[in-house]
Structure 1
Amino acid sequence: MITNEPTHTATVETVDTGIDQAMIGRLADALCQAVADTFSLYLKTLGTHWNVVGPNFYGIHKLTQKQYEDLNEALDELAERIRGLGYPVPAGFTEFRDISIIEVESAIKSSDEMLRALIADNEALAKRFREFSNVAADAQDKFTEDMLIGRIGAHEKNAWMLKAVLG
């Protein structure tokens, strides 16, 4: 949940590129949540990739590999953006668990159950990243807004592709 009062504080002086400095703490908080969500979904997608079985194994294995590789790249981009704004990036499992909406379970489930969970998680992140992109828009940070809009599209596509596998 994004609050009006930021929970993180800048570690370096920010650059003046037209971003609303009064909003930058809220924006950093949103991006920290995006990193936690992305990392958590990365782990869950990787777990599905490793543990999927059944007649569609190869296709699901390849699809989830493409998705976790994309999530890994997105993680780095989001984290670098946070640092570019002058804020620290969360980097521990406990903090990720505390601020992410994605639940990463260690129990292995059926392939269909794992896919349904990934679909729901991608849909949830598409919705949540819309909120984050609105924070970026309010801060007049077009670069971050564009980055987050791109992630919305990626999560929508992931959900669609996973649904298509289930039929």
Structure 2
Amino acid sequence: MTTTTNIAAINIGISEGDRKDIVEGLSKLLADTYTLYLKTHYFHWNVTGPMFQTLHLMFETQYQELAIAVDDIAERIRVLGYTAPGSYSAYAELSSIAETRDVPEATDMIRLMVEANEAVVRTARQAFPAAEKAADESTVDLLTERMRTHEKTAWMLRSLLQ
């Protein structure tokens, strides 16, 4: 994790140490979100079976939302004065979501998506203490929205399995 070269020092009311701690959590969230984006897009392309139409459209909606989320998280890291991770190797090191290389059956895709969305929730929750300690309401707001979105997505996916 590297800081960006600044023309003027960042003075947003959050110390350098606190910004670094916040960025560590956000970098993990970015990696999880990007990994989930890839998994969702992969499943969108390759889903088959009786739930094809439902899942194909659901996954498309989800990966489009995730693309915006990736940008929001990366931009928050930049606002805090750090370089956002952006390589596959960095994401592999930082992410808590396992890569899926095979093409699972549709119901297994759903289960994997539930697990991955809940992993993102846990990662966002782990990032909260540093943001709260620093009174970084902007990051807290971002984390809250990510948690809300992924909790709802997991619920909706889980409902398809019942």
| TM-score in same-fold range (> 0.5) | yes
Runs (4+) of structure 1 moved beyond 3 Å?
none
* Count of residue pairs the alignment pairs up: 160
Counterpart residue number, 1:138: 133
In structure 1, the partner of 2:42 is: 47
Deviations 1:35-81 (A, max 9, x none): 11100000001111111111111111111111111110000000011
Counterparts of 1:81 and 1:61, CA distance in 2: 30
* d(CA) in 1 for partners of 2:93, 2:71: 20
Q: For 1:14-163, what aligned pairs fall within 5 Å after superposition?
A: 14-163=9-158
Are 1:12 and 2:14 an aligned pair?
Answer: no
Question: Is the contact made by 2:28 and 2:123 (CA closer than 8 Å) also made in structure 1?
Answer: no
Give the match's secondary structure for 2:16. coil
Q: Distance in 1 between matches of 2:153 and 2:25?
A: 22
Contact 2:51 2:106 in 1 (8 A): no
- CA offsets 1:133-153 (integer angstroms, 9 cap, x no match): 222111211001110110000
Unaligned stretches of 5+ residues in structure 1: 1-7
How many Å apart are 1:29 and its aligned residue?
Answer: 1.2
Which deviates more from structure 2 when the two are superposed, residues 9-18 or residues 150-159?
9-18
RMSD over equivalenced CA pairs, Å: 1.2
Structure-2 separation of matches of 1:20 and 1:50: 44
Q: Which runs of 5+ in 2 are unaligned?
A: none
TM-score, normalised by the number of residues in structure 1: 0.91
Q: Identity of counterpart residues, as a percentage?
A: 36
Deviation at 1:123, TM superposition (A): 1.1
After superposition, what is the alpha-carbon deviation per residue over 1:101-145, rounded to whole angstroms, capped at 9, x for unaligned? Answer: 011121111111111011011112112211112221112110011
Partner of 1:3: none
Q: CA deviation at 1:164?
A: 1.2
Judge conservation of contact 1:37–1:125 (CA < 8 Å) in 2: yes
